[in-house]
Amino acid sequence: NTKITQSPRYLILGRANKSLECEQHLGHNAMYWYKQSAEKPPELMFLYNLKQLIRNETVPSRFIPECPDSSKLLLHISAVDPEDSAVYFCASSRDRIDERLFFGHGTKLSVL
Amino acid sequence: GDSVTQTEGPVTVSESESLIINCTYSATSIAYPNLFWYVRYPGEGLQLLLKVITAGQKGSSRGFEATYNKETTSFHLQKASVQESDSAVYYCALGDPGTQVVGQLTFGRGTRLQVYA
């Protein structure tokens, strides 16, 4: 699946700042960040529609999303915590009421 | 809140055997949720396998089937004859068709399926 690309694939951090990147080539208007911790289901973190943040779940303030254009999504993480170790998935859909999501490969974040 | 419970994995079956992965849901604020099965093959992101939005209807894709049963609040995934290429993690999920809660799916924890030749 090269329609949604995420980088990096793997990330090992101490208490540092880092950004995850996502780009979709599907012409979709809605983009999402999901977090999946070990043995848990994916959980929605942020949802953008047409570059506007419309759902901001209760996530720690050290996670800051950014949507520079409708095809790109960033997730800035500052001062990561061990509980942040997880796989972070980017996803997109045609629009915010289309629940058919297309997911990227994910970025596996390991916090030392 | 809403929740999805599915068969705890791993599920191990031999090729050409039948398969059922159970999924039940609880939707406290949604009368008729949309129901989904997503699949994640090794090294890939999740992808939609099938979707059913009407109670009583069946969805099918790639030989898999699931029927939306509102009475038992279930959406079990079945396949008559699995193949080794079906080895993956399967996620049951529900979504709210209402516009006030859009774009969010509630996923189950996933069921890892391993098919042996």
Compare all CA atoms of chain A with the CA of B92 and give the residue at the minimum distance. Answer: A41
From first to last of the 112 residues of chain A, give the pLDDT tens digit: 468 889 888 887 776 788 999 999 999 999 999 999 987 888 889 999 889 997 777 889 989 999 999 899 999 988 888 888 999 999 998 887 777 888 999 999 988 7
From first to last of the 117 residues of chain B, give the pLDDT tens digit: 788 999 999 999 999 999 999 999 998 877 788 999 999 998 888 889 999 999 999 999 999 999 999 999 999 999 999 999 999 999 999 987 764 445 578 899 999 999 999
Question: Residue B51 is nearest to which of A1, A40, A100, comparing CB atoms?
Answer: A100
Q: What is the pLDDT of residue B27?
A: 87
Question: Residue B45 is nearest to which of A39, A93, A105, comparing CB atoms?
Answer: A105
How far apart are the CA of A55 and the nearest CA of chain B, in angstroms?
Answer: 9
Question: Which of B4, B46, B99 has the most A C-beta neighbours within 10 Å, making it the best mutation to test the interface with A?
Answer: B46
Q: What is the pLDDT of residue A41?
A: 86
Residue at token pair 């992808």: B47
Question: Residue A97 is nearest to which of B46, B48, B102, comparing CB atoms?
Answer: B102
Q: Answer positive or negative: Cα dihedral of B81, B113, B23, B32.
A: negative
Which of B16, B36, B40 shows the shortest CA–CA distance to B27? B36
